[in-house]
Amino acid sequence: MGTTLRKKERQKLLKEYIEKEPFVTDERLAKHFNVSVQTIRLDRLALGIPQVRERVKSVAEEIYEPLRSLQQSELVGDLLDVQLEQGGLSVLDINESMVFKKNKITRGHHLFAQANSLAVAVVDAEVALTGSARVRYLKPVLLGDRVVAKATVKYKRDNKYLVQIISKVNDEMVFKGQFIVFATKY
Amino acid sequence: MGTTLRKKERQKLLKEYIEKEPFVTDERLAKHFNVSVQTIRLDRLALGIPQVRERVKSVAEEIYEPLRSLQQSELVGDLLDVQLEQGGLSVLDINESMVFKKNKITRGHHLFAQANSLAVAVVDAEVALTGSARVRYLKPVLLGDRVVAKATVKYKRDNKYLVQIISKVNDEMVFKGQFIVFATKY
DNA sequence: ACTGATTTATGAGTAGGTACTAATAGTTAG
DNA sequence: CTAACTATTAGTACCTACTCATAAATCAGT
């Protein structure tokens, strides 16, 4: 900052700053706004912003609980040959419950679920989370078909993985997807 | 616990316990294992497990960065009429770059991206994250089509939302999806 | 009973606060 | 011009959840 601002303006900026950078301490904030640590504390108090440890904890908790519940959701398909951080294979046999009665075509979300499960399994982590997915359904999959999904980790940066999934029935591609999966330590 | 265990066994259980419940303090652990706080600290030291504040922080940081980068990814489609926590509408005009040259059919991921963007936008949060999605492509969408995606928040529990997206072209359903979206405060 | 491993206790120091009091500087109203 | 009020800063005691170092107590096996 350098310059000293008035109270109102500073508090507005302070709020924005903490929203963007929630893990910052009062000391760093004091330096940034060129005021004392006490002033920052009064500001936080006035704005109802909790201390940095509370902020960190709330982010961790809010995220951790859904992650855990996602993790518990069962695996779709049988995993074969998973090489962590590289790729893997999963097999799903299409049964009566997965298809539309009328035409015996598999409901799309089963293929999605198989692919998603595999993408998550391939990532080497206690807990993994699908950030986003782009999927394409290429051919209808029918009752009795055996769907073989193949995962390839396209790239990894930090704890972010891009996993490509190609699902085939009798060597014919039926589904293709790219999943961005995040890994976390705990 | 009640009973007192030997060192090795206790350390094994301690590690498992912290993996399941990473936000627990040494004091709680000491009570749980019926030993002193100092013993827990020696155990953590031996196992290379950092203190609770570090553990909380690492969960928050690992998750927060990818969340932020996801947030920055641009919105697909134009938002109209978003009622936070309830529903919304988005319009996407299909142009040359979104279709296959051969048959002028829209690449599936554009519909996915529009739906995903809308699902995230509808959630009332600074930052939101797609946990999982189930999508179905119902009819091919062609060059020049105007895709109207409609979002409905089906239920909300804590910071977890189930958002249904129905996309139509000229009142005909072309895409349907259910997105589970997580919201976070910061 | 002795010895070594294990456990517990004690004290000092740390970060990042809360909650409070007191002093000072700056602004505004009468 | 001065009293009143607001804003800022300083300082204190206390808190949690530790780390690191050292010492004492306890327990288990021979």
The answer to whether B23 faces chain A, any CB pair under 8 Å, is: yes
Nearest Cα to A65, choosing from B36, B29, B72, B63? B63
CA distance B31 to chain A (A): 22
What are the chain A neighbours of B137 within 8 Å (beta carbons)? 108, 136-137
At B167, list the tokens: 């996309």
- Cβ-proximal residues to B4 (8 Å cutoff; 6+ apart), any chain: B34, B35
CB distance A186 to B19 below 8 Å = yes
Nucleotide nearest to A4 in CA–C1' terms: D8
Q: Output the average pLDDT for chain B.
A: 81
What are the chain A neighbours of B65 within 8 Å (beta carbons)? 158
Nearest Cα to B32, choosing from B49, B15, B17? B17
CATH value at residue B118: 3.10.129.10
At B6, list the tokens: 């030997």
Per-residue confidence (pLDDT) for residue B121, from 0 to 100 = 80
Record: contact A63-B23, CB cut-off 8 A: no
Per-residue confidence (pLDDT) for residue A2, from 0 to 100 = 41
Per-residue confidence (pLDDT) for residue A117, from 0 to 100 = 76
Looking at the structure, do residues A81 and A169 belong to the same domain, yes or no?
yes
Asked which of A68-82, B101-115, B166-180 is least confident by mean pLDDT, the reply is A68-82
Alpha-carbon torsion (A71, A76, B68, A48), positive or negative: negative
Residue A2 domain-assigned (yes or no): no
For range B71-97, the mean pLDDT: 78
CATH value at residue A42: 1.10.10.10
Alpha-carbon torsion (B20, B21, B25, B30), positive or negative: negative
Domain boundary among the residues B16, B46, B66 is at B66
User: Which domain does A15 fall in, by range?
Assistant: 7-66
* Opening angle at CA B59, ends A48 and A182, nearest 5: 120
Looking at the structure, do residues B166 and B110 belong to the same domain, yes or no?
yes
Q: From B62, which residue of chain A is nearest by alpha-carbon distance?
A: A184
Looking at the structure, do residues A171 and A89 belong to the same domain, yes or no?
yes
CA distance B133 to chain A (A): 8
Residue B144 domain-assigned (yes or no): yes
For B184, the closest of A62, A136, A186 (CB atoms) is A62
Looking at the structure, do residues B93 and B125 belong to the same domain, yes or no?
yes
Within 7 Å: CB of B32 and strand D?
no
Checking if the pLDDT of A74 tops 60, the result is no
Beta bridge partners of B163: B153, B179
CB distance B142 to B103 below 8 Å = no
At B52, list the tokens: 């609770």
CA dihedral (A113, A119, A124, A127) in degrees, to 10, reads -40
Domain boundary among the residues B46, B66, B86 is at B66
> How many angstroms separate the CA of B26 from the C1' of D16?
11
Nearest Cα to A151, choosing from A124, A184, A176? A176
Residues 128-157 of A with CB under 8 A from B: 129-137
Residue A103 domain-assigned (yes or no): yes
Band of pLDDT at residue A179, cut at 50, 70 and 90 = confident
pLDDT digits 0-9 by tens, B27-60: 999 999 999 999 999 999 999 999 999 999 988 8
Looking at the structure, do residues A106 and A171 belong to the same domain, yes or no?
yes
Looking at the structure, do residues B128 and B166 belong to the same domain, yes or no?
yes
Residue B1 domain-assigned (yes or no): no
The alpha-helical segments, DSSP class H, found in chain B are 7-20, 26-33, 37-47, 52-72, 108-122
